[in-house]
Chain A
Amino acid sequence: MSKITIPLGPQHPALKEPENFMLVLEGEQIENATINLGYNHRGMEKAAEERTFLQNLYLIERVCGICSHSHTTCYVTNVEEAAKAEVPERALAIRTLIGELERVHSHLLWIGVAGYEMGFETLFMYTWRDREQVLDCLEMLSGNRVHYSINTIGGVRRDVTAEQKVEVLKRIGNLEERTQYYIKVALEEPTIRARTANVGKLPYEVAIERGAVGPTTRASGVKRDVRKDDPYLLYDKLDFSLITHDTCDVFGRLVVRALELVESYKLIRQILNYLPEGPIAVKVPPRIAPAEVLNRYEAPRGEDIHYLKTNGTDKPERLKVRAPTLANLQSVAYMLEGGWLADVPLVIAAIDPCMSCTDRAIVYDRKTDKKQVYDWEDLRKLGIEAYKRKGVDFRKL
Chain B
Amino acid sequence: MNTDSLLTSMVYLVVFPGFLFLTVYGLFLQWVDRKLCAVMQNRMGPPWFQPAADLIKLLVKETIIPDACDTAMFKALPYFAIAAIISALMLIPLWKADSLFPAFQGNMVVVVYLLTIPTVTFFLAGWSSTSPYSTIGSMRVLTQLFAYEVPLMLSLIGPAILAGSWNLSEISAFFTEHPGHMAAQLIGFLVAILALQGKLERMPFDIPHAKNEIVGGQFTEYSGRLLGYFNLAVDMELVVGAALLSAVFLGGAWGLSGAAGLALFLAKTLAVTFLLALLKVLMARIRIEQMVNFCWKILAPAAMAQILIDIIIKSKLQL
Contact = CB atoms under 8 A, between A and B. Distances in A.
A and B bind: yes
Interface of A: 1, 4-7, 12-14, 25, 28, 115-123, 125-126, 129, 189, 191-192, 194-195, 340-345
Contact of A4 (B135, B281, B283, B287): B135
21 contacts: A1-B139, A4-B136, A5-B132, A6-B132, A13-B215, A14-B211, A14-B213, A119-B212, A120-B284, A120-B285, A121-B41, A121-B281, A122-B41, A122-B281, A122-B282, A123-B284, A125-B42, A125-B43, A194-B286, A342-B210, A342-B287
Interface in B155-213: 203-204, 206-207, 210-213
A389 B2 CA distance: 75
Given A120-B283, A122-B282, A13 B212 contact: yes
Q: Is the interface of B mostly helix, strand, loop or mixed?
A: helix
Given A4-B132, A121-B281, A125-B42, A116 B212 contact: yes
Contacts of A123: 284
A342 B204 contact: no
B290 interface: yes
Contacts of B212: 13-14, 116-117, 119, 345
B213 A345 contact: yes
Contacts of A121: 41, 203, 281
Contact of B213 (A122, A126, A342): A342
Q: Give the top 3 A-B pairs by smallest Cβ distance, nearest first.
A: A119-B285, A120-B284, A191-B284
A344 B213 contact: yes
A191 B206 CA distance: 14
Nearest to B211: A13
Interface of B: 40-43, 132-133, 135-136, 139, 203-204, 206-207, 210-215, 281-290
A119 B203 contact: yes
Given A4-B135, A340-B289, A119 B282 contact: no
Nearest to A11: B215
A34 to B, nearest CB: 15
B286 A28 contact: no
Nearest to A12: B215
B284 A195 contact: yes
Nearest to B43: A125
Contacts of B41: 121-122, 125-126
A28 B208 CA distance: 12
Contacts of A119: 203-204, 206, 210, 212, 284-285
A342 B207 contact: yes
A86 B40 CA distance: 52
A25 B203 CA distance: 24
A28 B288 contact: yes
A326 B147 CA distance: 41
Given A4-B132, A120-B285, A121-B281, 8 more contacts: A6-B136, A28-B289, A117-B212, A119-B203, A123-B284, A126-B41, A194-B286, A194-B290
Contacts of A129: 42
A40 B40 CA distance: 37
A327 to B, nearest CB: 24
> Which one of B206, B213, B285, B289 has the highest number of Cβ atoms from chain A below 10 Å of its Cβ?
B213
Contacts of B283: 120, 189, 191
Contacts of B213: 14, 341-342, 344-345
Contacts, number: 81
Contacts of B135: 4
Contact of B287 (A120, A125, A195): A195
Contacts of B204: 119, 191
> Which one of B40, B132, B210, B284 has the highest number of Cβ atoms from chain A below 10 Å of its Cβ?
B284
Contact of B286 (A1, A191, A341): A191
A313 to B, nearest CB: 48
A123 B203 CA distance: 13
B35 to A, nearest CB: 14
A52 B99 CA distance: 80
Given A119-B206, A121-B203, A195 B42 contact: no
Nearest to A199: B287
Nearest to A27: B139
> Which one of B139, B211, B287 has the highest number of Cβ atoms from chain A below 10 Å of its Cβ?
B287
A106 to B, nearest CB: 20
Contacts of A191: 204, 283-286
A6 B133 contact: yes
A344 B289 CA distance: 15
Contacts of B285: 118-120, 191, 195, 342
Contact of B40 (A6, A118, A122, A343): A122
B206 A25 contact: no
Contacts of A12: 215
A195 B207 CA distance: 13
A187 to B, nearest CB: 14
A7 B43 CA distance: 34
A258 B106 CA distance: 54
Nearest to B38: A125
A342 B209 CA distance: 11
Contacts of B42: 125-126, 129
A189 B284 contact: yes
Nearest to B203: A119
B273 to A, nearest CB: 17
Contacts of B206: 119
A256 B207 CA distance: 28
Contact of A342 (B132, B133, B288): B288
Nearest to A29: B289
A123 B283 CA distance: 9
Contact of B136 (A25, A115, A126): A25
Contacts of B282: 122
B293 to A, nearest CB: 10
Contacts of A28: 136, 288-289
A156 B243 CA distance: 65
Nearest to A126: B42
Nearest to B283: A191
A21 B139 CA distance: 21
A116 B283 CA distance: 11
A294 B40 CA distance: 49
B288 to A, nearest CB: 6
